[in-house]
Structure 1
Amino acid sequence: MAHHHHDHTDVDWDEMGPRLEAQAELFTPLYEHALAWLAKRQTEPGLVVDAGSGPGVVTCLLADTFPGARIVAVDASGPLLDRARTRAERLGVADRFDTLTGELPGVLGDLDYPADLLWAGRSLHHLGDQRAALAAFAERLSIGGTLALQEGSLPSRFLPRDIGFGRPGLQARLDVVEAEWFARMRAELPGSVAETEDWPALLAAAGLRPSGTRTFLLDLPAPTTDRARAHVAATLARTREVLGDRLDADDRATLDRLLDPGDEASVHHRPDVFVLAAQTVFTAVRAR
């Protein structure tokens, strides 16, 4: 399943922080490949901005990828930015690492100068008017600067189609329920505007020149690591919590069994658990 989305007003970010950090750490190989690709498209930026940074895992990877750049993590959550600062200190990049607290996209107006690279990793869909937000992102780029937009990923997969109990195809059914939930979440955002999710076209409408699209994989095959199992268990537990009332009784029972540490058929023990995820990055350049 894809990550779950949250409204900033109803989330305990102190509580969510460790889970978000653990997930991003698990996905580090994917992000490293994406940023290596990006580094060939935007060389030696002076200012790199992570718009919607969360706990700063990707922000610190940006710092590693661009060792000559000043890095700014931007997020509405103070507790998550505290985590980002702690991480930057631990990794030895705090001397060129800053944070900016506030709601996107308006808070970007507080940047000292335009960004040469602005990374928006799965943050745009939290904003009601995505077209207006992209225009605001574009305005904060330097001439020749790049906007890297991570959106439109495929749902992750953790389990075989037939897991030996319940109806086969559980994850496909969860995808449908999550897609419906996501549409409702988008519709309920302040100032929500429906858009065709043609990201290159939306980037062009923001006055940028689309410059590339690439999808990156995280492939952790079975038998997988304890850290990957923990991610699968946490993701399915969040699914059960958020979407459980939208599932039928059989699928709820299947999820409960998959989450029961005392059951040998649970994701805590079964040998066929894996993580396969695909994330797409779209780039565009400010030409004028």
Structure 2
Amino acid sequence: MTRHPHTHDDHTHHPHGGHAHGDASHAVDWAVFGTLLEKNAELSTPALEQTAEWLRGLLAVPVRRALDVGSGPGGATCLFARAFPDAEVVAVDGTPELLERAHARAERLGVADRVRTHLAELPDGLADVGEADLIWSSKAVHHLGDQQGALDGLAAALRPGGVLAVSEGGLPLRALPRDIGIGRPGLLARIDAVQEEGFTEMRAELPGTKEIVEDWPAMLGAAGLTGARSRTFLVDHPAPLDAPAREMLHIELARLHERLADRLDATDRATLGRLIDPDDEAGVLRRPDVFWLSAFTVHAAVKPR
């Protein structure tokens, strides 16, 4: 992977993914961003467990080896290690700081004997990773100029009967009512629009970028895989949020406040500032109406035997 922030579970395209689209001039604080991604993985665990069960039903072979490509701090890596207890699971990422977190997470969860890490940049770095029965990649392919070429490379590393699953798209986070009593109603919708503009700019600036209709099942088919299908999984934590979810939301909004400062108008910047103020009763750490609702879409297909 290139050193873009991920979402892995984590990419801030939307907080579930955890990628930080927008102004690339901001240096990434991996300690802060790694924490965000780990908190995100914990919030998304029930949905990722459902994902693993769905993928199990698509596989035509036992999973002896799995790759988490663009793994970040290993949220999905460790989950797949638990879901497929006979498998070696490899966290593949281009950021050493995040791979260190993935290793530490595997140790904490008691799966370090079957989890290993591999430092690699995509797409060329896949050549040294080896084949696998299950390849998972969340919010990583869209950071590569040639998305179809990336899927072709991932499909080539898949063993016959195995499944390639990519998490791309879904629904953006909703965490507040439309009218929150301060600023103008519809703040999150305007932030979505700004981030989509940033995403388009990011894609245009990637080396070797190629325009393509992002029909992910069709792209999987073009990579030589069969039976392509998609399913969307919901991450739903209703109000009132518990402390860990509130903390994660606070971190995410603080990052948005920093990264989007020059893209939002003065009113929205001020509103966002109040939302992240720990001493403000209107802030997300204090108000009772904050929630967490998002969705991620997984596209999967099988390599013919």
Does TM, normalized by the shorter one, top 0.5?
Answer: yes
Residues 20/8 of structure 1: CA separation in 2 closer, same or farther (3 Å cut): farther
For residues 207 and 31 of structure 2, the distance between their equivalents in structure 1, rounded to whole angstroms, comes to: 24
* Kept in 1: contact 2:36–2:252 (CA 8 A): no
What amino acid does structure 2 have at the position aligned with 1:206? Answer: A
**Corresponding residue for 2:8?**
none
Residues 281/166 of structure 1: CA separation in 2 closer, same or farther (3 Å cut): same
The C-alpha deviation readout for 1:31-83, integer Å capped at 9, x for no partner, is 11111211222252111000000001110000000001111110001111111
* Kept in 2: contact 1:154–1:279 (CA 8 A): yes
* Kept in 2: contact 1:208–1:285 (CA 8 A): yes
The answer for unaligned runs of 5 or more in structure 2 is: 1-12
- For the pair 1:209 / 2:226, whether they are aligned, the reply is yes
| TM-score, scaled relative to structure 1 | 0.95
Q: How does 1:47-196 map to 2 (within 5 A)?
A: 47-112=65-130, 114-196=131-213
What amino acid does structure 1 have at the position aligned with 2:197? Answer: E
The C-alpha deviation readout for 1:221-258, integer Å capped at 9, x for no partner, is 11111111111111111111111211111111111111
- Offset, 1:10: 4.3
What amino acid does structure 2 have at the position aligned with 1:79? Answer: E
**Corresponding residue for 1:220?**
237
For residues 14 and 67 of structure 2, the distance between their equivalents in structure 1, rounded to whole angstroms, comes to: 24
Larger helix fraction of residues: 1
* Kept in 1: contact 2:55–2:163 (CA 8 A): no
Deviates more, 1:19-28 or 1:263-272: 19-28
**Corresponding residue for 2:14?**
2
* Kept in 1: contact 2:225–2:302 (CA 8 A): yes
The answer for unaligned runs of 5 or more in structure 1 is: none
- Offset, 1:210: 3.5
SS at match of 1:192: coil
Identity %: 54
- For the pair 1:41 / 2:53, whether they are aligned, the reply is no
What amino acid does structure 2 have at the position aligned with 1:74? Answer: V
Count of paired positions: 287
| TM-score, scaled relative to structure 2 | 0.90
For residues 27 and 161 of structure 2, the distance between their equivalents in structure 1, rounded to whole angstroms, comes to: 38
Moved over 6 A (4+): none
SS at match of 1:244: coil
For residues 9 and 194 of structure 1, the distance between their equivalents in structure 2, rounded to whole angstroms, comes to: 26
- For the pair 1:11 / 2:28, whether they are aligned, the reply is yes
SS at match of 1:155: strand
Deviates more, 1:168-177 or 1:14-23: 14-23
What amino acid does structure 2 have at the position aligned with 1:84? Answer: A
For residues 265 and 212 of structure 2, the distance between their equivalents in structure 1, rounded to whole angstroms, comes to: 31
SS at match of 1:166: coil
For residues 136 and 26 of structure 2, the distance between their equivalents in structure 1, rounded to whole angstroms, comes to: 23
